[in-house]
Each structure stands twice: as C-alpha cells, then as structure tokens.
Structure 1
Amino acid sequence: MFFGLQVDRGNLSQAVSDNMLDDLGLDTNDYNYGHSIFLVSFLFAELPSQLVSKAVGPDRWIPMQMVLWSFVAISQCALTGRGSFLLTRSLLGFLEGGFIPDLVLWLSYFYTSRELPIRLSYFWTSLSITGIVTSLLAFGLLHLRGILGWEGWRWLFLVEGFITLCIGIASFFMMPASAVQTKTWFRPKGWFTEREEAIVVNRVLRDDPSKGDMHNRQALTPRRLWEALKDYDLWPLYAIGFCAYVPQSPPKTYLTLTLRSLGFSTFNTNLLTIPADIMHIFNLILLTRLSEWLNERSLVAIVQPLWTLPCIIALRFWGGLIEDKWGTYAIMMVLLSYPYCHAILVGWCSKNSNNVGTRTVSAALYNMSVQAGNVYASYIYRDDDKPLYRRGNSALLVINLVSILIFLLTKLYYVWRNKQKERVWNALSEEQQIEYRKTTKLQGSRRLDFRFAH
C-alpha cells in the first residue's frame, strides 16, 4: 500500500525528466508551486482523515483513499497545462493526506512500542524500493513517447496510476480490522487461532495498557481531540518533524533535473537515481535497529542531520559543483543515502502519547509538521538561484544546524520531565501510589507513573 502511495506522489520527478515541463509550457517555479500545493493539501487533509479513520476504521478508510487518489493519478495522463497540473496536484494531496498516520495507527494495534519502530522502518524501506522499481519502470515507459501520439510521461501516469488502483482494490480484502477480526467470508479461519489472538492482544496491552482505552471504530470526542492537541510534551517531536527532513528535500526533489543539467539522458537519469535508494534502505534499517538495540531515540536519530551536514557544506562551498559532473553526482548520492530517522520519530511519538486518542491525533500532527516543513522546503531552490543554488544551500545549512540543536534540546527536555515526575512520584507512599493508579483521571503522558522515551 505504501508502494502505491509513493508511486503516485513520487513519479512527478520522473515525468519532468521526460521534458514534461516544456511539453506543458511550465517552468521550475510552476514545478515548485505544484509541489507546494500538493503538500499543503496533504497537510490540511491529515487530521480530518485521521478522525474519519478512527470513526469508520482504517481497514475501510485506507482502501477507499487509495482507490480515490488512483483515479486522480490516472487522470494526469490528460494534463493540458498549468491549471490542470495544479488541480491534480491539489486533489492528489487532499486524497493522500492522512494515509501515513492512518496506517501507523493501524499497525500500533498489532505491535508493542519496542517493536513498532523497526516494523515502520520496513514500511519506509518501500519508499526506496518504490524509487528503484519506478526508476526501472520509467526507463521502459518513457520509451513509449510517440505511441498513439502521447509523450512518455503520459504513459507513466496512466500505467502507474492503474497499479495503485489494483493495490487499493486488493486492500479492501487484505486489511483486517484488528488482530481479533481477521475472519472474513473468503478467509473463514482467519489469520490466528483463538490462543494466538489472546497472545497478540495481551502482549500489546501489557506493553501499553492505554491501547485498550478505545475500540478501533470509536470516534474521538471534541474534548479528547482538544486534550490531544494541547499536549505540549509532544511539541518537541513536532518541532523535529518541522525541521529534520528539510535539508534533504530540495536536493531529492530536484535530483532528476540536476542530473539532466549535468548532461545525462532522460533514461540514464532515472537509472542513476537507483544507488541512493539502495543505500537509503540499508541505512534506514541499520539506524532503526541501532535505536532498538540501544533503546535510545534522540542520540541515534541525530545521526541523520550529522550525515547530511558535510554534504550540504559541499553543495554550498565546493567550487566544482555542476562543472565536475561525476563529483556532483557523488555528493548527491551520498547526501540522499542518509539514514532516515522517520521510523524512529513515528514510533517515539506513538510511545510518548500513551493514549489511543492522543496517539490518533499526534500521529496526524507529527506528519502535518513534516509536511509543513516540506512546504517551505519546496521554495528554497528558486529559478533565479540555479544552477548552483548558493542561496538555497545556505538556507539548508542553517536549517540542518538548527535540526541538530533541536534533537539535543528534545533529549534534555524529556530527561528533565522524567526527573520532575520522578520527584513527585517518589514523594508518595506505596499506598498512595496504588491509590493514584486506581483513581487518577489523568490520561496519557499526564500520568505521574508514565515516563517519556528519549
């Protein structure tokens, strides 16, 4: 399913490598506008989509989303100019928004807080796998230019949109509502025996009892929504999401355009993006595994901006940029092979929510902060700054340094909050602690007996 998402939100970069902008009479600023409109629509759809998913169940809502956006993805094969380009980008963003937090919430029903990040890392490796597969697909599909009078990028949108449609239809039949609701008319025995169902449910609830607060088709009340929104202890994670992924975003978005400007052909450009995707997979899994082994989030996740830092410095100050074709390519490949900390952050946000209602909202808010960062990232590389983008790379360098600082401050904040809670908790007698656990009306991370992961 994530493959289907990434195919339709990522194939624009392959389409522009086939002169799509020239065919439609667009320039790179129009490309930026389309990208930012997609992200803004994606951002504003996040929370409403998550609330709908919580009410009707992600097993119903996610397949519906996929089928709907696949129709829009397919319609891109009929683009005629700037208006239709911007309209389809907006519709795609609106229909895809909320997909990721919806799926993260659904996965949290099956795994403990220690298990979730590594499962999410497998989930996000499909981002890179999709990049590899679609690069190979693009190599073939873009060769169809001239067939039926169509440009190659039109065939690309048509075929890849149809792939998503097939995945969406299959998802209606493949997604169970929960671990104890896997039986259907075509799967009468379900996935688990009754004993296995009990094991799955009990191990998840022992790890995080708050996952039993709400059932999987229970809508959030306005009061619970407001409580989740004002949970300031999660705001540091939203701040990380707002900054941490920006330094890699413009180089990634402009990769195919950069490779074309270096003199590579349309077809070689798409093949040359593959090495970064392969390394991205290994580094993502390795970083998430390291976090799991050490039970450490912030000091492991900070590896991402530390990896990016020397590459951004090279893009900003190296005199051979663009002039040295293979040197520029090498820097881009190292930069885009960065160890992606997103799975760690999503699992971290889920863990520190300690409440199903808060988890529902925090997953959306965290992803909204990431998309908000991507919105302003789409305006960092401007047409009047190309081809070296000195001004843009200066901005990326500053943002990367700010990201490193936020990771360190977040670590210190959660250590301080835990000490604060520990001091109050230890001042209670054993009888008072037992009584507190039985009678407190505080929920989620507000409970005195809860400790933040950091």
Structure 2
Amino acid sequence: MERDIEKRTLRKITWRIVPFIMLLYFIAYIDRVNIGFASLTMKDDLGFTASILGFGAGIFFWGYFLFEVPSNIALHKVGARLWIARVMLTWGLISGAMAFVQGTTSFYVIRFLLGAAEAGFFPGIILYLSYWFPAKHRAGVTAFFMAAAPISTALGSPLSAALLEMHGFWGLAGWKWMFLLEAIPAVVLGVVVFFYMTDRPQQARWLQDDEREWLVKVMEEENAGKAKHSGHSILRGLADFRVIALSLIYFGTSAGLYTLGIWAPQIIKQLGMSSMTVGVLNAIPPLVSVVAMVIWSRHSDRTRERTWHVVLPCLAAAVGLVIAGNSNGVIGLIAALTLVNVGISCAKPPLWSMPTMFLSGAAAATGIATINSIGNLGGFVGPAMIGWVKDKTGSFSGGLYFVAGLLVLSATLALILSLAQKVKPSTNEVAAH
C-alpha cells in the first residue's frame, strides 16, 4: 500500500515540478550564455578584443558570487515562489538591457548586474528539490533539471544565430534584437512562477491527502536523520569543510561549462563557418550530452555511488578539451566538444546530490549557495583565461589546456574527499564510496 502511495506521489510531483523548473533553467541559461553568439558580431561593432569579451562574460560570476548566499537564505525564509519570481523578473529586465551596451564599461556593469540578479536561482532550485524529493531519487531529478542547460544550448544556438540575421531591422543590430527578444520569456515566466509554484509539500493542495501525508512524513524523517550528523545552522553550511571541497570540485566543472557556453561558437567560427552553420553545429554536442546525463545520473541513483560518477566524467571532459585544442577539422572538433559536453553534464547531477546528504534547513541553503557561488567563479576564470591567451597567442589551445587542468584537479579533489570518508551517509543513502 505504501509502495503504491510512493509511486503515485513521486510521479505526480515529478510531472508538476520538473518540466516547469526545466523551462525556467532553459530560459536562464540562454540569457546567461547568449553573449557567446552576440559576440560573433557585437565585438566588431563595439571594438571588443577577446580579452574584453572573456572578462565581461566572466564578470557575471562576481555578481553571482557576492549575492548567492544572501539570495538563497532569503529563498529559504520567504519561500521559493516569491523569490524565484523576483529573480526571474529582475534578470529578464537586465538581460534585455544588454541591447543598450555602448562600450567596455557598460558591458562590464550590465554583466555584473545580471549575475547579481540571477544569484540564487540555481542553488535555490537545488534547495527546492530537497524539499520535495527523497535523497535516493534526487540525482535523477536533478539531472532532468540540469538537462535544460545543454538543451538550451542545442535549441538556443540556432535561435540566437537566426536572431542575428535581423541585423538592420528597424535600425537595430542583430545582436541587440537577440538580447531584447530572448529576455522577454524570463519576465513573463516570473509572473507565472508566482501563481504556479508551491513552496512546501504541506501546502500542496494538488496532492491527495494520503500522498501529501506520505511525502511530509518521509521528508521529515530524512531531515531528522541528517540532524544526527550535522546541524541546521547557517554557520554550519558555511563552515563545513565538505562544502569547501565540493566548491572547489565544482569550480573546475563550471570553468568547463562556461568555456563551452561562451567560446564554443567562436572556436567553431574560426574554421570559416557562417553564423547559422555555427548555430547548427554548436547544437550537436549538447543534444548528445542530454541523453548521457540522464542515463549516467540514473545509474548513480541506482548504485548509490557518487564519487566515481563525478571523477570519470571530469577526466573525460579534460581529454575532450585537449583534443579540441589540437583539432583542425570540423568533425574532429565537434567530436571533441561532444566529449567535453558529455563529461561536464554527467558530472554535475551526482555532485549536486552530495551536499543535501549531510546538510538541511538553513545549513543546506547556505551550503548549496556557497558551493554554487565559489564554484561558479570557475565560470569567470575559464572564459577570461581563454580570452587572454587568445589575445596573447592567437590561438584557443592554451586556454583549453588550462581548463582541462582545472577539470583534472576537480577529479583529484573528488577522490581525496571520498578517501577521507568525511561525507557521512544519511539514513536514506550511502555517500560516495
């Protein structure tokens, strides 16, 4: 009987929550990395060098870093419905303001403000999932949510390329149209979030009474189990050494992810492709990675193993970056970028299943936000370094090798964390082993 209730409840909350948060992340990720496509023509209009583009694209993460923890604490206190709505409205408006960039200073300022506005969205959703899904199901659900990032690249690449073709319409450059039109869905969805999301299982009137009672009971038991191993305080989430270790592991994966998001279009473009061809080719690697991510994460949930499900993909992505740095043909380059996409996409869901195994309450809010804010500084370091190396050497290769080294470091740290046996198992799940 209880097994039947569990299946019904999980199916219902999955269909209610997961497609919607995937849509939100889909829009968020497009607004975060569409600078990669805008730069194909924007750099010439504004006279930007590769270093300026890399730094400006990456400065987004300084705003993210500074406001991430406060934002997630606010979400924990006021509820996901109100806070995610606020996040989406502000980032949509600021993303649209990118169309009015006039030079280097305004470029840097708006990218920083976009990061500050979006701070709290991703860790907020990770925290939100920990309210609704038991730990043993979380990596798989997280994988579906995170699949929105490669899907947004796959669908957003040809869309962004097509919008660039609007150049001259009503006297506006194509990249201006791209920023304006791609910002609208975030603003609209910000309003939808306010009316659609439910903060906690206790408030889920769309569940039957027995389903709601089962879910509340299971999640309370899980939180009680975590409380035996660590506290719920804000300080605990900031001070736990496992949080710092996971932040550094995530740093490498973020450097890889945003290297792809920001620079892959230009890396492909240098082979002499048109913008539309670049858009089509850039869609291939993330499409493959979506399938791999879901399969890999389900295997992680089934085996209840996390460490090797992070280590192996990080190493695979590192190999892909090295190959990409040495590729001179289209087939070899796209194959290498596909390996990088698969590796980075597969590493993230198992990694994000770790912090909520030993943190709950306010500690989980601050811990997840800390991991995301520190880790996402890799999204500054990777793109900025590649832009700097490109200006110095005329090649992307050195920067790609640098990011590959960061991914090897992530894999090494994951192994060290596991060997130290400091990630304690919760009552529902065996931690990385």
Sort the TM-score into its range (normalised by shorter chain): 0.7 to 0.9
Kindly indicate whether the alpha-carbon contact (under 8 Å) linking 1:109 and 1:211 is maintained by their aligned counterparts in 2: no
Residue 187 of structure 2 corresponds to residue 165 of structure 1 = yes
Residue number among 204, 227, 234 corresponding to 2:219 in the alignment: 204
The alpha carbon displacement at 1:384 in A equals 2.8
Which letter maps to 1:341?
Answer: A
DSSP 3-state at the match of 1:191: coil
Equivalent positions of 1:24-423 (< 5 A) are: 24-182=46-204, 190-209=205-224, 224-316=233-325, 318=326, 321-322=327-328, 324-338=329-343, 339-353=345-359, 355-381=360-386, 382=388, 383-414=390-421
Kindly indicate whether the alpha-carbon contact (under 8 Å) linking 1:205 and 1:211 is maintained by their aligned counterparts in 2: no
In 2, the alpha carbon distance for the partners of 1:451 and 1:360 equals 20
Residue 38 of structure 2 corresponds to residue 15 of structure 1 = yes
User: Could you list the runs of 5+ residues in structure 2 that have no partner in the other structure?
Assistant: 1-23
User: Could you list the runs of 5+ residues in structure 1 that have no partner in the other structure?
Assistant: 183-189, 214-220, 422-444
The alpha carbon displacement at 1:294 in A equals 0.8
Q: Deviations over 1:251-275 (max 9, x none)?
A: 4421111121110001111111111
The alpha carbon displacement at 1:298 in A equals 0.1
DSSP 3-state at the match of 1:227: helix
Task: Point out the structure with max Rg over C-alpha.
Answer: 1
The alpha carbon displacement at 1:99 in A equals 0.9
Change (3 A) 1:212 1:394: closer
In 1, the alpha carbon distance for the partners of 2:257 and 2:188 equals 31
Calculate the aligned-residue CA RMSD, in Å: 2.5
DSSP 3-state at the match of 1:115: helix
Kindly indicate whether the alpha-carbon contact (under 8 Å) linking 1:14 and 1:138 is maintained by their aligned counterparts in 2: yes
- Number of equivalenced pairs: 404
Which letter maps to 2:31?
Answer: D
In 2, the alpha carbon distance for the partners of 1:345 and 1:336 equals 16
Q: TM-score, normalised by structure 1?
A: 0.83
In 1, the alpha carbon distance for the partners of 2:403 and 2:336 equals 15
Which letter maps to 1:243?
Answer: G
The alpha carbon displacement at 1:451 in A equals 8.7
* Higher mean C-alpha displacement, 52-61 vs 131-140: 131-140
Change (3 A) 1:244 1:279: same
Kindly indicate whether the alpha-carbon contact (under 8 Å) linking 1:234 and 1:352 is maintained by their aligned counterparts in 2: no
Q: Deviations over 1:110-132 (max 9, x none)?
A: 11011111111100111112112
In 2, the alpha carbon distance for the partners of 1:50 and 1:399 equals 27
Kindly indicate whether the alpha-carbon contact (under 8 Å) linking 2:75 and 2:124 is maintained by their aligned counterparts in 1: yes
The alpha carbon displacement at 1:71 in A equals 0.9
Change (3 A) 1:103 1:87: same
